[in-house]
Amino acid sequence: MEIKDYVEERVLKNQLPLVVVDCVKLIDKYEEIYPEVDSMKRFFYVVLNKVGAILSTVDKDLNELLGWIKVRGKNSINFYEFEDEGDYLNWLQGRQYLYEKLTNVDDIRLLNFLELSTMNFISDINTNCKYQLSKDNDIIIFNKVEYGTDNSNVSFIKYLGGKFKEGYNFKPIK
């Protein structure tokens, strides 16, 4: 698959606020920085760096938590992962504050994509959290309870990912 097609598919499917042509140009530039990494994986570095830039305007210390996240995968199956469970748990503790400070819907959307593409988040069955989904004027509040949710009989990640692809943004709430 050509990188332009790969990026376009990700942008459209996930309603990401990225310009495909600009993203492809960055991916090409990243070849100098990440020469051993294929172009599809470099797309994930582009998103990671964009999210890092967004979060550094909110809190530089919490932004540094992203420094512990790695891009993993092969070919078209790529994801993020915190190598250490402690780093992931630190991220979970700080992210609610970050979400509270973010007001730009596009910024939230990119952070949502990063989280939904993080293996620790996908496979997390131990933490419970209350979430708010929002799209236009529609707001849904639900609880993540271990593997599932309190408002659906599907897994947490399937429910949240499905709503994300429908255009909902999410954030953890108290």
> What is the DSSP code string of 104-131?
-HHHHHHHHHHHHTBHHHHT--S--EEE
Task: Report the C-alpha gap between 83 and 71 in whole angstroms.
Answer: 10
CA atoms of 72 and 95, how far apart (whole Å): 22
CA dihedral 85, 112, 152, 120 (to 10 degrees): -20
- Which segment of 56-70, 120-134, 136-150 scores lowest on mean pLDDT? 56-70
The Cα 3–Cα 165 span in angstroms is: 21
How high is the pLDDT of residue 76? 76
CA 5/CA 74 separation, integer angstroms: 17
Average model confidence (pLDDT) across the chain: 93
Give me the pLDDT at residue 138, please: 97
Q: How sure is the predictor about 99, in pLDDT bands with cuts at 50, 70 and 90?
A: very high
> 36-78: per-residue pLDDT in tens?
999 999 999 999 999 999 999 998 887 788 889 999 997 779 9
> How many residues are recorded in the chain?
174
Q: 1-25, pLDDT tens digit by residue?
A: 899 999 999 999 999 999 999 999 9
Task: Give residue 15's pLDDT.
Answer: 97
CA–CA separation, 41 and 34 (whole Å)? 10
Question: Which of the four pLDDT bands, split at 50, 70 and 90, describes residue 30?
Answer: very high
Per-residue H/E/C for 75-101: CCEEEEEECCHHHHHHHHHHHHHHHHH
Closest-CA residue to 124 (of 100, 160, 98, 99): 160
* Model confidence at 101: pLDDT above 80: yes
* Average confidence (pLDDT) over 90-104: 92
